[in-house]
C-alpha cells in the first residue's frame, strides 16, 4: 500500500511541477497574434501561392496590417476579397488595372547570334552565370524557360522562336517570372507602369527609340504598318505621343539621324510613316484611343493649354485621374496654333489631335488665366488634388499678349527679367514696381542677381538670400565682396527644390546642396528666378496631422500648400533643383520634346499625389550612357527610300502647300525598309520576318 501511495504522490508531484513549468513557459514563450492579422488571414484564399511576393498568406496578412502592402495585394483572390480586407482594415481601395507579364526581347535564340552554347543547362540563371550566357546580346533572352517553370498559374509557355509567350487571361501579375529572369527580359507591365517608366540600360531599346524625345516604340508601329494593322500602329504611337497627326508634319526627326539603315543607304522615313498612319485614322474618322487605368476619383488642374499642358493632361487621364486644362486664350494649342504656318500645320489637323485628347477624358476651359480668374489656393479649395503649371516661356507669353505684363503665377514669385524691368525702367514704374517682402530669395542670375538684391534692399527687404548653382570660386572676388558689403547671404552650389506657402502667400523654399544632397529650408516671402519661364511645379496641399486635416475639411481657405519640382529628363542624371543644365529656360525647342515633358510631368503628378518624390533611377538611359550597340550592319541589301510627294497646289491660303503624304503603297514599301532592330539584332535581307507575320495574320 505504501508503495502505491508513494507512486501516487510522486506522480502528483510530477504533475504539479510539470503544470508549473508549463505555466511559466506559456508566459515566457507566449506569442501574441494580432486579431486583425488573423481576420485578414482568414479572408485570404489560403492558396499560399506566393504570388504576392511573400511566403504565403500569413506573411501577406501581416504585411497588409503593417501597411507594407495594399489591401488588394493578393493576386489569387478577386475584388471581393480585396474589399473584404479593406473593410477589416477600415480603408478604401482604388480600382487598379491588372499587371501583366510582358516579354521585352525581340529576337529568339534561334535568330540571334550565338556566343556560347552550354549543353545540359536547363536554367537561365545558371547559363547567365557562365560568361554571361549564350547570346552575343548582353541582355537577350536565354530561352531556357526559367520563367515558364516559375509561373504558378500556367500563364507562360516558350514559343517556337525561344521567347516566352504570356497568356494574359491566366496571368495574375504575381511577378514570379520577373523575379527569376536573370536578364530582366520579362517584366510586369500595366498602363501606369508604362507611363511612369523611363528606359534603362537593362531594356532592349533601339537607336531610334532612344533618340526620340517622347520615347515612342518606333520599330513596333512600323512593324504594324507593314502588317497593314494601322489601328494598332496608331495605338502604339499614342502610348507616348497624343499628337501623332501634328508631329507627323513638324517633327525635326532626331530618330532618323540614329536609324541603323543609314549604314546601308538612307534612314527609314520614320516620321512620314507616322504621318501616314495618323492621317489614315483621321480620314476614316475612327478615333483610336490607348488604354487608360481605372478611375481614381482624383482631380488635377493643368495650367496652360499648349502642347506640354495638353500632353500632361492626356497622360494624367490615362493614369486614371480627372484632369482639367485651363487656358488663358480663346483656343487650346499654344504655339502650335500661333507660331507655325498653316502651310505646315493646318488648324484642322491641330484640332483633330486636341479633340482626341478631350475624348480621353480631359476637360478644357478657355479664357481662364491663373492670377486673374483663380489662384493656386482657390483651385485647391475647389477640390483639385493637384495643380500643375505649364504656362510656357517667353514665346508663349507673347502669343497670349502678355509680353509687356508683369505676371505672378506662383504666389510671391517673379521672373528676374520682370523684376528688373518693372523696377528699373526710367528709374520707376507707374505702379511703383514690384514690391518685396521682408524675406527675399533670388535664384541664379549672376551679376544681375546682385543688382536685383540691392533693389530689394532699397525696397525694405530685411533678409536677402542669393542661391547659385555655381560654386563660390566661379565668381569674381569683387562680386563676392560686394555681396558681403551689402549684408546679403549667398548660398553656392545649390538649387531650389520645393516651394511652401499658405493661401496666396509664399512662406518658405527648400534648398538642396548639389554635392551632399543635404536640404535646408529658407524663409521666403518673395522669390525671384532668373529664367524666361515660371518653373514647372506640382502643387498639392501640405500633409497635416489628423486633427489639422479635420479642421481643414471644415474650412474653405486658405490652405497650406507645397510646390514640388517634377521629374527631370533622363539626360539630367543626378541633377537636382531649378535652373539645372537640363531645364528649359524658356519654351521647348521642339514640340516632341514638350510631349516628352508632358508624360514625365503626368508621372510626377501621379507620384506626388501618392507621396512619392519624383526621381530617376541610376540606370536610366541618357545620351552619355554606355550601352551595347553596333555601328555597322551586314547582309542587308540596298533599298531606296520613298520620296515624299510634294503638293503642286498654288491656291493662296492652301493649308497643304508643302507635302501630300505617302500613299498606302509607298507606306508599305517604306515600312519594309525598317530593320526591326533590337539592342544589337536587326533583320537581315534573307530574313522573312514580315512575310511570316503576314501569313500568320492572314
pLDDT of the residue at 573: 76
Please report, for the domain that includes residue 65, its CATH number: 1.10.15.40
**260 within domain boundaries:** yes
Q: What residues are paired with 387 via a beta bridge?
A: 301, 539
What 8-state DSSP symbol labels residue 549? H
Tell me which H or E stretch contains 489.
Answer: strand 489-491
- Specify if 336 maps to a domain: no
Tell which of 89, 108, 132 closes a domain: 89
- Helix, strand, coil fractions of the chain, as percent rounded to 5: 35, 15, 50
Does the pLDDT at position 95 exceed 70? Answer: no
Radius of gyration of the chain (CA): 31
CA–CA distance, 120 with 86 (Å, rounded to integer): 48
Last residue of a domain, one of 574, 609, 644: 609
Instruction: Looking at the structure, tell me whether residues 52 and 120 fall in a common domain.
Output: no
173 and 218 fall within a common domain: no
Q: Tell me, yes or no, whether 436 and 394 share the same domain.
A: yes
Q: How far is CA 546 from CA 346, 551, 552, 553, 671, in A?
A: 53, 9, 10, 11, 58
Q: Would you state the cell numbers that stand for residue 146, as one nine-digit string?
A: 526559367
258 and 124 housed in the same domain: no
Average pLDDT score over residue span 454-473? 92
Q: What are phi and psi of 463, to 5 degrees?
A: -120, 115
Is residue 698's pLDDT more than 50?
no
Residue 30 has pLDDT above 60, yes or no: no
CATH of the domain at 147: 3.30.70.20
Asked whether residue 259 is domain-assigned, the answer is yes
The answer to whether residue 428 scores a pLDDT higher than 50 is: no
CA dihedral angle for residue 325, residue 329, residue 330, residue 334, rounded to 10 degrees? -70
CA distance 643 to 664: 13
Determine the 3-state secondary structure of 253 from DSSP: coil
Residues 158 and 261 in one domain: no
Residue range 43-88, pLDDT digits in tens: 776 666 666 667 677 777 777 777 666 666 676 666 667 767 766 7
Q: Provide the angle, in degrees to the nearest 10, between the axes of the packed helices 664-671 and 270-284.
A: 140
Indicate if 72 and 138 belong to the same structural domain.
Answer: no
Domain enclosing residue 120, as ranges: 100-188
128-165 per-residue burial string, b: 16 or more CB within 10 A, e: under 16: beeebbbbbbebbbbbbbbbbbbbbbebbebeeebbbe
If asked whether residues 590 and 451 sit together in one domain, one would say yes
Q: Annotate 641-690 with DSSP letters as a single string.
A: PPPPPBP----TT-TTSSB----HHHHHHHHTT-----SS----TT--HH
Cβ pair 65, 37 in contact under 8 A: yes
Q: Is residue 505 part of a domain?
A: yes
pLDDT for residue 641? 95
Same domain assignment for residues 176 and 120: yes
Average pLDDT over residues 669-686: 92
Look at 60 and 226; give whichever has higher pLDDT: 226
Q: What is the pLDDT of residue 651?
A: 58
Task: Report in angstroms the alpha-carbon separations of 84 from 41, 72, 77, 89.
Answer: 11, 10, 11, 9
Residue 641 near residue 668, CB atoms below 8 Å: no
Residue 270's domain is classified under what CATH number?
1.10.1060
Confidence of residue 3 (pLDDT cuts 50, 70, 90): low
Q: Which of 56-70, 109-123, 330-344, 423-437 has the lowest mean pLDDT?
A: 423-437
What mean pLDDT do residues 595-614 have? 94
Do 462 and 604 lie in one domain? The reply is yes
pLDDT per position as a tens digit, 558-578: 889 999 999 998 888 778 899
**Residue 1: count of CB within 10 angstroms of its CB:** 5
* Burial annotation 626-642 (CB, 10 A radius, 16+ → b, else e): ebeeeeebeebeebeeb
Task: From 44, 63, 89, give the residue that closes a domain.
Answer: 89
**pLDDT of the residue at 50:** 64
pLDDT at 41 (0 to 100): 75
Specify if 13 maps to a domain.
no
683 is a domain residue: yes
Above 60 in pLDDT, residue 655? Answer: no
- The answer on 108 and 233 residing in a single domain is no
User: Is position 391 within any domain?
Assistant: yes
| pLDDT of 21 | 66
Q: Which residues on neighbouring strands pair with residue 527, listed in sequence order?
A: 413, 441
Domain count, the chain: 4
What is the pLDDT at residue 449? 93
- pLDDT at res. 57: 78
The model's pLDDT over 270-304, given as tens digits with 9 standing for 90+, comes to 999 999 999 999 999 999 999 999 999 999 999 99
Give the domain CATH number at 579.
3.50.50.60
Distance, in Å, from the CA atom of 571 to the CA atom of 581, rounded to the nearest integer, reads 10
Global pTM reads 0.86
Confirm if 555 and 548 have CB atoms less than 8 A apart. Answer: no
N- to C-terminal Cα separation, the chain: 100
My answer on whether 554 and 432 are in the same domain is yes
Mean pLDDT of the chain: 86
Q: Do 394 and 512 sit in the same domain of this protein?
A: yes
Nearest to 344 by CA among 252, 256, 267, 216: 252
Rounded to whole angstroms, the Cα distance separating 9 from 13 reads 6
Residue 622 located in a structural domain: no
Identify which of 232, 215, 190, 191 has the alpha carbon closest to the alpha carbon of residue 318: 191
Amino acid at each position: 500500500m505504501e508503495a502505491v501511495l508513494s507512486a501516487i504522490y510522486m506522480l502528483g508531484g510530477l504533475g504539479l511541477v510539470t503544470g508549473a513549468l508549463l505555466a511559466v513557459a506559456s508566459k515566457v514563450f507566449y506569442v501574441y497574434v494580432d486579431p486583425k492579422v488573423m481576420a485578414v488571414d482568414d479572408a485570404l484564399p489560403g492558396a499560399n501561392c506566393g504570388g504576392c511576393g511573400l511566403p504565403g498568406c500569413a506573411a501577406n496578412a501581416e504585411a497588409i496590417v503593417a501597411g507594407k502592402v495594399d489591401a488588394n495585394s493578393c493576386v489569387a483572390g478577386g475584388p471581393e476579397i480585396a474589399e473584404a480586407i479593406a473593410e477589416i482594415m477600415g480603408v478604401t481601395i482604388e480600382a487598379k488595372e491588372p499587371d501583366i507579364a510582358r516579354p521585352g526581347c525581340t529576337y529568339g535564340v534561334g535568330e540571334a547570334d550565338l556566343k556560347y552554347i552550354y549543353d545540359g543547362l536547363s536554367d537561365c540563371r545558371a547559363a547567365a552565370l557562365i560568361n554571361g550566357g549564350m547570346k552575343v546580346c548582353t541582355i537577350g533572352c536565354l530561352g531556357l524557360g526559367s520563367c515558364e517553370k516559375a509561373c504558378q498559374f500556367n500563364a507562360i509557355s516558350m514559343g517556337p522562336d525561344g521567347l516566352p509567350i504570356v497568356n494574359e487571361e491566366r496571368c495574375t501579375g504575381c511577378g514570379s517570372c520577373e523575379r527569376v529572369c536573370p536578364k530582366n527580359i520579362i517584366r510586369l507591365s500595366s498602363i501606369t507602369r508604362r507611363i511612369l517608366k523611363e528606359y534603362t540600360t537593362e531594356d532592349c531599346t533601339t537607336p531610334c527609340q532612344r533618340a526620340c524625345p517622347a520615347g515612342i516604340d518606333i520599330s513596333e508601329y512600323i512593324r504594324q504598318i507593314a502588317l497593314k494593322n494601322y489601328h494598332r500602329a496608331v495605338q502604339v504611337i499614342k502610348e507616348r505621343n497624343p499628337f501623332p497627326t501634328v508631329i507627323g508634319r513638324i517633327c525635326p526627326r532626331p530618330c532618323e539621324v540614329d536609324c541603323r539603315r543609314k549604314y546601308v543607304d538612307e534612314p527609314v522615313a520614320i516620321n512620314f510613316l507616322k504621318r501616314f498612319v495618323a492621317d489614315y485614322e483621321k480620314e476614316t474618322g475612327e478615333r483610336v484611343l490607348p488604354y487608360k487605368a481605372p478611375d481614381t476619383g482624383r482631380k488635377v488642374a493643368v495650367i496652360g493649354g499648349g502642347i506640354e499642358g495638353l500632353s500632361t493632361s492626356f497622360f494624367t487621364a490615362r493614369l486614371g485621374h480627372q484632369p482639367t486644362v485651363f487656358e488663358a486664350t480663346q483656343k487650346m494649342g499654344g504655339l502650335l496654333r500661333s507660331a507655325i504656318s498653316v502651310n505646315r500645320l493646318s488648324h484642322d489637323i491641330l484640332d483633330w489631335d486636341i479633340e482626341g485628347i478631350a475624348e480621353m477624358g480631359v476637360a478644357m476651359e478657355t479664357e481662364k488665366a491663373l492670377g486673374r480668374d483663380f489662384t493656386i489656393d482657390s483651385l485647391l479649395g475647389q477640390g483639385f488634388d493637384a495643380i500643375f503649371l505649364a504656362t510656357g516661356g517667353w514665346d508663349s507669353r507673347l502669343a497670349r499678349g502678355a509680353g509687356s505684363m508683369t505676371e505672378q503665377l506662383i504666389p510671391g514669385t517673379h521672373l528676374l527679367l520682370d523684376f528688373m524691368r518693372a523696377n528699373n525702367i526710367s528709374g520707376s514704374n507707374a505702379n511703383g514696381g514690384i514690391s518685396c517682402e521682408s524675406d527675399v530669395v533670388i535664384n541664379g542670375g549672376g551679376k544681375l542677381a546682385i543688382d536685383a538684391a540691392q533693389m530689394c534692399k532699397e525696397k525694405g527687404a530685411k533678409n536677402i538670400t542669393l542661391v547659385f548653382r555655381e560654386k563660390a570660386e566661379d565668381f569674381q572676388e569683387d562680386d563676392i565682396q560686394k555681396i558681403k558689403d551689402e549684408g546679403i547671404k549667398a548660398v553656392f552650389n545649390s538649387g531650389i527644390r520645393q516651394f511652401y506657402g499658405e493661401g496666396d502667400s509664399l512662406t518658405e523654399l527648400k534648398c538642396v546642396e548639389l554635392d551632399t544632397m543635404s536640404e535646408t529650408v529658407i524663409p521666403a516671402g518673395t522669390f525671384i528666378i532668373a529664367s524666361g519661364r515660371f518653373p514647372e511645379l506640382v502643387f498639392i496641399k501640405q500633409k497635416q496631422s489628423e486633427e489639422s486635416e479635420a479642421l481643414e475639411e471644415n474650412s474653405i481657405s486658405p490652405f497650406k500648400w507645397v510646390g514640388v519640382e517634377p521629374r527631370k529628363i533622363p539626360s539630367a542624371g543626378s541633377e537636382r533643383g531649378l535652373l539645372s543644365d537640363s531645364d528649359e529656360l524658356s519654351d521647348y525647342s521642339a514640340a516632341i520634346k514638350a510631349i516628352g515633358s508632358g508624360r514625365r510631368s503626368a508621372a510626377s503628378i501621379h507620384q506626388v499625389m501618392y507621396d512619392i518624390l519624383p526621381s530617376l533611377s541610376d540606370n536610366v538611359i541618357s545620351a552619355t550612357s554606355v550601352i551595347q550597340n553596333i555601328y555597322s550592319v551586314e547582309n542587308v541589301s540596298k533599298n531606296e527610300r520613298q520620296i515624299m510627294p510634294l503638293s503642286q497646289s498654288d491656291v493662296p491660303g492652301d493649308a497643304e502647300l508643302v507635302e501630300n503624304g505617302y500613299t498606302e503603297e509607298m507606306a508599305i514599301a517604306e515600312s519594309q525598309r525598317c530593320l526591326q532592330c533590337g539592342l544589337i539584332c536587326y533583320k537581315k535581307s534573307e530574313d522573312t520576318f514580315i512575310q511570316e507575320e503576314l501569313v500568320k495574320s492572314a
